[in-house]
């Protein structure tokens, strides 16, 4: 069967079981779009901006665990997609991005809509390809999907010149790929695992430090079982929220800059940190010289380059968290004395009691934390939550009662404002039966609000809760704390849209609320709405995210809470 390059793209996507492609057409990718028009095996969702398309594919991938697929044209199409690709890259999200390119004969001539696409995506992809011959195309697509989902997942970019989409060749989709230069290590070294288990049994103050890799490897059931059995205190990173249920007695909350005091003290005082697919990010460790000074480290990670990158690691284990824990569990359970951690847990319980996460609720103004807690009470337990980036993101991570992994979609590594709404749309496409809520801010939502039309057109009713303080809140908070309250370019009070009208103009429903009862009433309506909903919640303008580890300070120097007024 001889097919054109464009047809090969379509057939290959079908073979990969792709159900939805998020994209935006343009000159160089037109032949592929022509074939999309002719087929009915997968759906194409037309975004309003390439960045939106890529975030949608990302949200789809985060919520479903499948590879997200995005398609864009050459030049500006591709450069618009970069923020989306980089967002997925820093959070290790499996994704394939296909871009059109000017014909091979025009490459290097500064042709119309030409950009060195593989040059631009190289630093923000796991791997990328420029397809020079149509004969290579099917194999490259196969390889791209394989690379995206295997090992440490990540986005892979395929750049296809227009003449390659026209050229014909015999189509045979390869059964499998075998790369001699790429062999991820899945199974941990047995001796290393045994040594690590012995260290855990010897430890007095161990802590499980659960990271995003635990979500990606699907290890949560094992982790829950191990934590329940061993009763070892556990903390989660932003990317790992939901691995343990929020009400687990062994979960001391999120660790890091806006983590709970108990979680940070658990890391600070531990004598053994067991890292499960986490990477000791600077937002977690605080000042690195002061980080966990008395702790040995067991670091389980599928990416060897993460081990020893930030902290000295006494027990390195390269492998998939799930497979390593499977191996570890029987030897760990064999003869472990779980009472020995009782004293340690008591200390942490005391920290938790002394400095719990809290806020000063109010009857006059709406507190953002209250909105999040209330939403957690009213929403179904299997709701999918996304966020943008800023104060609302941290409040959500702190106060939302997460119950399962892949429930919380947030741009952790790159911190991309504008991620939340398109990611929510992508998640809704992948999980139609679930309620999808995007917590956002009045700054972030404006970055991709055009995608409202996508929610309207494709009937993907997601709920946006705008925690509106008329500030770029997180920057405002830092300005207040570290720049003597000089609010340089962060006050948005005089430049806000009317979110209700804006929503209505794009086929969505908008509400503006400034009282608690109103919020509850409107949220109930939102749950059953068949349109995209925007709830513009006027919150206490000056609320800060607390507690907080000031930048480059040790974890133990947390700013706790303001005195109650």
Q: How many C-beta neighbours within 10 Å does residue 208 have?
A: 28
Site string for other proteins, 422-451 (x = CB under 8 A): ------------------------------
| Cβ-based nearer residue to other proteins, 19 or 127 | 127
Give how many residues touch other proteins by CB under 8 A: 19
Q: What are the φ and ψ backbone dihedral angles of 467, each rounded to 5 degrees?
A: -85, 90
Catalytic pick among 126, 162, 367, 406:
162
CA distance linking residue 4 with residue 16, whole number of Å = 18
CA distance linking residue 3 with residue 202, whole number of Å = 63
| Cβ-based nearer residue to other proteins, 186 or 333 | 186
Tell me which residue has tokens 């990606």: 216
Least distance from other proteins to the Cβ atom of residue 317, Å = 15
Catalytic status, residue 162:
yes
Rg of the chain on CA atoms, in Å: 24
Nearest of 305, 278, 302 to residue 292 by alpha carbon: 278
| Cβ-based nearer residue to other proteins, 54 or 118 | 118
Of residues 49-88, those binding other proteins (CB under 8 A):
none
What single DSSP character describes residue 42? S
Nearest of 304, 256, 300 to residue 281 by alpha carbon: 256
Among 303, 349, 491, 518, binds other proteins (CB under 8 A): 303
| Cβ-based nearer residue to other proteins, 39 or 305 | 305
Among 76, 105, 179, 346, binds other proteins (CB under 8 A): 179
Question: Stretches 29-37, 90-98, 173-181, 330-338: which one binds other proteins (CB under 8 A)?
Answer: 173-181
| Cβ-based nearer residue to other proteins, 188 or 242 | 188
Site string for other proteins, 116-155 (x = CB under 8 A): --xx--xx--xx-xx-x--------------x--------
At a CB cut-off of 8 Å and minimum separation 6, what does 275 contact? 209, 211, 297, 298, 299, 300, 301
Least distance from other proteins to the Cβ atom of residue 308, Å = 6
CA distance linking residue 398 with residue 367, whole number of Å = 14
Binding of other proteins at residue 488 (CB under 8 A)?
no
Catalytic pick among 39, 41, 43, 112:
112
Burial of residue 170 (CB within 10 Å: 0-12, 13-18, 19+) is exposed
Binding of other proteins at residue 305 (CB under 8 A)?
yes
Token pair in block for residue 170: 């015999």
What single DSSP character describes residue 291? T
Catalytic status, residue 50:
yes
Least distance from other proteins to the Cβ atom of residue 179, Å = 7
CA distance linking residue 482 with residue 103, whole number of Å = 52
| Cβ-based nearer residue to other proteins, 182 or 229 | 182
Least distance from other proteins to the Cβ atom of residue 295, Å = 19
Catalytic status, residue 474:
yes
Least distance from other proteins to the Cβ atom of residue 108, Å = 13
CA distance linking residue 526 with residue 504, whole number of Å = 14
Token pair in block for residue 397: 């991570």
Site string for other proteins, 307-326 (x = CB under 8 A): -xx-----------------
At a CB cut-off of 8 Å and minimum separation 6, what does 316 contact? 192, 299, 307, 308
Token pair in block for residue 184: 């991820």
Catalytic status, residue 421:
no
Whether the CB-CB separation of 436 and 64 falls below 8 Å is answered with no
| Cβ-based nearer residue to other proteins, 414 or 520 | 414
Least distance from other proteins to the Cβ atom of residue 127, Å = 4
Which residues are marked as active site?
Answer: 50, 112-113, 162, 474
Binding site for other proteins (CB under 8 A): 118-119, 122-123, 126-127, 129-130, 132, 147, 179-182, 303-305, 308-309
């Amino acid at each position: 069967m001889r097919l054109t390059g464009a047809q090969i793209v379509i057939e290959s996507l079908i073979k990969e079981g792709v159900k939805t492609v998020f994209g935006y057409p343009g000159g160089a990718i037109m032949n592929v779009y022509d074939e999309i028009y002719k087929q009915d095996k997968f759906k194409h969702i037309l975004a309003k901006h390439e960045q939106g398309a890529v975030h949608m594919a990302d949200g789809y991938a985060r919520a479903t665990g499948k590879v997200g697929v995005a398609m864009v044209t050459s030049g500006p199409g591709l450069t618009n997609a970069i923020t989306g690709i980089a967002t997925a890259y820093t959070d290790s999200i499996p994704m394939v991005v296909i871009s059109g390119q000017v014909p091979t004969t025009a490459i290097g001539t500064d042709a119309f809509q030409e950009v060195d696409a593989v040059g631009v995506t190289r630093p923000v992809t796991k791997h990328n390809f420029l397809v020079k011959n149509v004969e290579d195309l099917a194999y490259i697509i196969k390889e791209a999907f394989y690379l995206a989902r295997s090992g440490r997942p990540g986005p892979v970019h395929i750049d296809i010149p227009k003449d390659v989409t026209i050229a014909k060749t015999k189509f045979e989709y390869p059964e499998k790929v075998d790369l001699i230069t790429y062999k991820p290590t899945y199974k941990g070294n047995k001796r290393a695992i045994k040594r690590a288990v012995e260290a855990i049994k010897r430890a007095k103050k161990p802590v499980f430090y659960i990271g995003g890799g635990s979500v990606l490897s699907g290890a949560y059931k094992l982790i829950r079982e191990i934590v329940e059995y061993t009763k070892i205190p556990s903390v989660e990173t932003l990317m790992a929220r939901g691995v343990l249920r929020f009400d687990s007695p062994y979960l001391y909350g999120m660790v890091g800059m806006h983590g709970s005091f108990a979680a940070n003290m658990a890391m600070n005082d531990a004598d053994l940190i067991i890292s499960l697919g986490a990477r000791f990010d600077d937002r977690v460790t605080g000042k690195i010289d002061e980080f966990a000074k008395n702790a040995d480290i067991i670091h389980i990670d599928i990416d060897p380059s993460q081990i020893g990158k930030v902290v000295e690691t006494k027990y390195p284990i390269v492998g998939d968290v799930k497979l390593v824990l499977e191996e570890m569990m029987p030897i760990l359970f064999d003869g472990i004395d779980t009472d020995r951690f009782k004293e340690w847990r008591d200390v942490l319980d005391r920290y938790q009691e002394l400095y719990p996460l809290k806020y000063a609720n109010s009857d006059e103004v709406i507190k953002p934390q209250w909105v999040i807690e209330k939403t957690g009470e009213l929403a179904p337990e299997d709701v999918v939550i996304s966020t943008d980036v800023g104060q609302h993101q941290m409040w959500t991570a702190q106060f939302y009662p997460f119950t399962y992994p892949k429930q919380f979609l947030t741009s952790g590594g790159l911190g991309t404002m504008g991620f939340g709404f398109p990611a929510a749309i992508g998640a809704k496409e992948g999980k139609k039966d679930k309620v999808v809520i995007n917590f956002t801010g009045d700054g972030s939502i404006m970055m991709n609000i055009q995608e409202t039309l996508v929610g309207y057109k494709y009937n993907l009713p997601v709920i946006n809760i705008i925690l509106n303080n008329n500030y770029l809140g997180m920057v405002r908070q830092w300005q207040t704390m570290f720049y003597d309250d000089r609010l340089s370019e962060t006050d948005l009070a005089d430049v806000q849209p009317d979110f209700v009208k804006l929503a209505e103009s794009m086929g969505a429903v908008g509400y503006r609320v400034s009282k608690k009862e109103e919020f509850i009433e409107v949220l109930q309506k939102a749950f059953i709405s068949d349109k995209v909903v925007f709830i513009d919640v006027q919150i206490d303008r000056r609320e800060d995210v607390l507690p907080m580890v000031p930048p480059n300070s040790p974890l133990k120097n947390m700013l706790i809470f303001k005195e109650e007024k």
